[in-house]
Amino acid sequence: MTTVTLPTAPPPPHSRDGAGRRLPLPGRYTVAPGRSLTELTAWYGPLPVLRRRVTLGEASLTVPEDAERPSFRYEFDDRRLSAVLTSEQVDEVHGRLQLTGDLDLNGVAFPVLMRLRVVERADDRLLVVGHARLPYRLLRRATGFRLPWRRPATRLRLLVAAEFS
């Protein structure tokens, strides 16, 4: 039996530089109209029972000079979902960005954990895709958010894809 050793490629530059290289250079970045996708999916057990696109009113990313505490802000402006998601902490976990923040819905802050995958990063641009899973019963009790009565749900998934530039 023969053993073949294949050459290995060096890791990409952003993986060698640590967590700060997952983000663009310090500054404030926004999402241009038409450069985002937001979707709300209601699940009942393993079955999706409702899937709708939600309008992303505004989104911003602020990277400070020290790159220690970047902040994300998503404003959903739709007749089905009018809310603001603000990050309190951004960490890098297993090569992805993890946002811990609050979803302000009907004046009530609901805790959210959103995981973002960095699809593309440049010095002045960041393309991310991420999702947050929300327990529907707790969300409904805390904020009063309700789906149509014909749509039973156990959890919601909020999917966000945005290009910050």
User: What are 32-69's pLDDT values in tens digits?
Assistant: 888 899 999 999 999 999 999 998 889 999 998 875 78
pLDDT tens digits along 9-36: 554 544 444 444 678 889 999 998 888 9
Distance CA 42, CA 44 (A): 7
pLDDT tens digits along 61-114: 999 887 578 899 999 988 878 899 999 898 888 889 999 999 998 889 999 999
Neighbouring C-beta atoms of residue 21, cutoff 10 Å: 16
pTM for the model stands at 0.81
pLDDT tens digits along 120-138: 999 899 999 999 999 999 9
Say if residues 144 and 124 touch (Cβ distance below 8 Å): no
Concatenated DSSP letters for 81-120? -EEEEEEEEEEEETTEEEEEEEEEETTEEEEEEEEEEEEE
Domain boundary assignment for the chain: 25-164
In CATH, what number does 25-164 get?
2.40.128.110
